[in-house]
Chains A and B, each alone.
Chain A
């Protein structure tokens, strides 16, 4: 499936802010389930944008703004062809040993309730166990954009029984690690063909399963990641894989506006270079 992503982040500062430095994990890498045809980051102010690869192998950038700015717009746009691999992730660089993804972080600590949930899903078959875990989280935690915030940890979100994709992903990660399964956070985009224009910022989890390697589970939708998912960055938790982490001096209060749109469009026949995307959605 061919997906167009348009991701715009606007920071407005009360007064001009100086010394802006941001780490951006906004660039997807091609792998067996996705092929990145075009991708660009446009920053609205003067500065230095330098690419680097982080410890997980993510394509990252650091942005250093010159001078003081009162508005900063990061515009990310691109085009990706996705393939359904039933969630199996392959063709990624994997510089870190899998055991790193068994580490506990403050955002993914399993409390007694999450440990109980994990234990209830134990299964001799690791694939069955992973699906049971994902479905258990999907059923136990309702999607609700108004109760949690970006620094809510897994245990708190699970206690509330509500949260956003970030919370569900972190609960699944905490439970999987409790069962001895390496698990990591994925930030990305979700653009299903039946919803041609929608908020597409999304997050899910990858679990390392014997014989299969990393497999992507989306507890928000209760499915393995498929053609509608664009995988951008991985990390131990949402802070580690965060699309943008920044710092500044001064500037007073900040308002943040994020809009992410994903659109599935008709694929060109193989061998034909990508053309101007059509507005039609396709199955």
Chain B
């Protein structure tokens, strides 16, 4: 899109030779590196990166793609750089947002004051498929619902970051944040060491220690001694299985499947070679609906019968808590500015993307009228599925979406197409600007919020594309947050 802010060059155009004067201060080292590296060297590095990812097996499955059950997410070797000042603002905004998301969960499953105050329409919450009615009246250990949240941010100009989406259920992608850094250290040691000398790329590898500390901090009242934490995965066929095994390995905890676990006398146990071992905290990467066949989907083999009893008896903490989907629901999203004001008493630091709620007739009329310029999303869709990007849609696609909107307006929201910022990216024709987003990971434990300085940068590799989802051809980049001494 014309006029998009480029994080290296601002509004200057890309040329064959980078003009050092046009490069924003935070990108000086990267620009010098790019200027000194031959195209052949960059191409070699890119191939090496791909080999590295293949060797460690970091692949993901694409649902509904019969040709490729396992695919490599392309890695772009040009890092994205965020200054200390920019990060300070993001950190403050992310902390505020996650505090509000957690307070919203606690309130919705507790006193429901925000519904009485009219901050969010009552029926949108109480009738929302994401609301877990079994959790009404429940208070998790430490009052924490959203232990791990991934907030998808986009940048539209040097000063403006907007939240595109909250992910408060089982957000994934953090293993890419960690692996991308390792790959950068191996492939471009000269660049990384220069940056480290000059002021410091802040480390991200502390994430797994922080995650484990967060999980232990919310051990239930029934836990005795050092809390035992395990990671529950749906198994090998899940698209994020690599990440599950990676995180369990780094944290030094057991990676378990439903069949490895059982509940007896309201306590969760895992089978080990040394006999059953009590589990106090379960970091689950399995959706709510599959967690306990005695309460949720009876056909689920991924969960554990009696799990909810263990939780409600105060013997087990499940992270994230069951029912947090109500907070990141796309229909709730548009109410987030009001939710933040209500629970934090302050104006939102990070803006929401303006959103039309198609359930409201005036909004629907406007969306139908302006559809070619808008992005239309299904409230119960994810990963870029069930989504229409107006400017790139054919007349036929637009027509089909108009019919769907008229039939079920409450299932859709619409947003303007944003001029997402671009970052220099290595493509077949050389170095070119490509649109990016950012997913930082926010941890909330009994003692508050911690955010590792970094996140997953996703890049739309196709020229002009805004769709960064890995299931739709997006790639990733290493994301550098500079220390206060850095540029």
Contacts and interface: CB of A to CB of B under 8 A. Distances in A.
B127 A102 contact: yes
B298 interface: yes
A104 B380 CA distance: 15
Contacts of B65: none
B259 to A, nearest CB: 8
Given A99-B127, A100-B126, A239 B306 contact: no
Contacts of A50: 265-266, 309, 313
Nearest to A96: B136
Contacts of A62: 266, 306, 309
B295 interface: yes
Interface string B129-141: 0010111110000
A245 interface: yes
Interface string A99-124: 11011100000000000000000000
A95 B134 CA distance: 11
Contact of A64 (B126, B133, B137, B306): B306
Given A21-B306, A55-B136, A99-B127, A64 B294 contact: no
B294 A247 contact: yes
B263 A97 contact: no
Given A23-B295, A52-B312, A99 B306 contact: no
A213 interface: no
A19 interface: yes
A245 B313 CA distance: 19
Given A50-B265, A64-B264, A245 B309 contact: no
A103 B126 CA distance: 8
Interface in A1-50: 19, 21-23, 48, 50
Given A64-B263, A64-B264, A245 B126 contact: no
B475 interface: no
Interface string A53-82: 011000000101000000000000000000
Interface in B299-344: 305-306, 309, 312-313
Contacts of B70: none
Nearest to B293: A247
Contacts of B305: 19, 21, 246-247
A102 B122 CA distance: 12
A64 B265 contact: yes
Interface string B109-133: 0001000000000110011000101
A19 B126 contact: no
B421 to A, nearest CB: 41
Contacts of B104: none
A96 B294 contact: no
A133 interface: no
Interface string A212-250: 000000000000000000000000100100000111000
A23 B294 contact: yes
A245 B294 contact: yes
Contacts of B266: 50, 62
Contact of B136 (A52, A100, A236): A100
Interface centre among B112, B131, B306, B313 (most CB of A within 10 A): B306
B309 A52 contact: yes
Given A23-B295, A48-B265, A62-B309, A97 B126 contact: yes
A258 B306 CA distance: 23
Nearest to B308: A23
Contacts of A99: 122-123, 126-127
A103 B293 contact: no
A103 B127 contact: yes
Interface residues of A, number: 24
A102 B123 contact: yes
A19 to B, nearest CB: 5
Interface centre among A96, A103, A104, A246 (most CB of B within 10 A): A103
A21 B126 contact: no
A247 B131 CA distance: 25
B162 to A, nearest CB: 32
Interface centre among A19, A21, A103, A246 (most CB of B within 10 A): A21
B121 to A, nearest CB: 11
B441 interface: no
A21 B294 contact: yes
Contacts of A64: 263-265, 306
B262 interface: yes
A246 B294 contact: yes
A245 B131 CA distance: 22
Interface in B129-186: 131, 133-137
A189 B134 CA distance: 25
Interface string B251-283: 000000000001111100000000000000000
B265 A97 contact: no
A103 B265 CA distance: 32
A273 B131 CA distance: 46
A54 B132 CA distance: 13
A217 B51 CA distance: 67
B112 A48 contact: no
Given A246-B294, A247-B305, A55 B133 contact: yes
Given A62-B306, A99-B122, A246-B294, A21 B263 contact: yes
A97 B112 contact: yes
Nearest to A106: B297
Contacts of A97: 112, 122, 126
A100 to B, nearest CB: 5
Contacts of B136: 55, 95-96, 100
A97 B294 CA distance: 23
B54 to A, nearest CB: 38
B293 to A, nearest CB: 6
Interface string A240-277: 00000111000000000000000000000000000000
A32 B321 CA distance: 37
Contacts of B265: 48, 50, 64
Interface of B: 112, 122-123, 126-127, 131, 133-137, 262-266, 293-295, 298, 305-306, 309, 312-313
8 contacts: A19-B305, A21-B262, A21-B306, A52-B312, A96-B136, A97-B112, A97-B126, A103-B127
Given A23-B294, A23-B309, 12 more contacts: A21-B264, A50-B313, A52-B312, A52-B313, A55-B137, A64-B263, A64-B306, A97-B112, A100-B133, A102-B127, A103-B133, A246-B305
